[in-house]
Structure 1
Amino acid sequence: MTEFLLEARARVLHDLAAYRMADASAVSVLEEALSQRGWWVAQWPDGAAFLAGLIAQDVQDALFDAGSRWPRCRACGPGPEHSLGVEPELGEDPRWVCTESGIEVAPVGALRALDQSTG
């Protein structure tokens, strides 16, 4: 199970870094989510394959509650700001999908880094 937790950590940390959100506060949120999901997967070992998506959602929710929107959708171009969501909510091979248009953006752990011009 540890391997699934480490993989989920690496994937979510990559996506945080891609959006320049991997600061101490966000990493603490990630570590807390890992701790909580470690207990969860110990109770339900068959859920290990779902950890990356669940942890991404946990981090997203906690950051939103703290006033940060992550990850913001860049697939739709200019317009009202909105977020990406994880699909499936509970399933294998989670991916980031635009909550407005349904555009599939990337697998969890594969968001592309912001370039210098987009800040």
Structure 2
Amino acid sequence: MTVDEAAQSAIADASADTSVDGINRTVTVEVVHKQEGFGTAAWTVIGMFLVVAAVGSWFMLSGDSANGDGGGLFGGGGNCGDGIDNDNDGLTDREDGDCYDQVNPEWNGYKSGHMEDGRNDPPGGES
């Protein structure tokens, strides 16, 4: 027996009981629909979470930043080779110690991972 047939049977039984007594009674049936699965509000929350996660990931992994350090969570391209004193130490590119490898202190050209950030300058600013 399906759910609809069971409901119709219950209504018929209730109606039969009222007619036996000879009293005119009214049977009121309230049908409540229970929604299964996620509702609209749940999908809206999930969608908003995904949008926030996507935008946050884009900001963390993008190569642009306001402070000019290449940006991104994992860093970005370096700025050695642009002819500008990016860390304001008076030295540009070839003259700046930040543009050299620490293990190989020779100019090997522009390296995307090198950054004029003042972290690899000699003590006292001497070169």
TM-score range, shorter chain: under 0.3
Question: Which structure shows the higher helix fraction?
Answer: 1
TM-score when scaled to structure 2? 0.22
Q: If each structure's strand is expressed as a fraction of its own residues, which one has the higher value?
A: 1
Highest relative contact order (Cα 8 Å, sep 6+), 1 or 2?
Answer: 1
Query: TM-score, normalized by length of structure 1?
Result: 0.23
**Structure with the greater alpha carbon radius of gyration:** 2
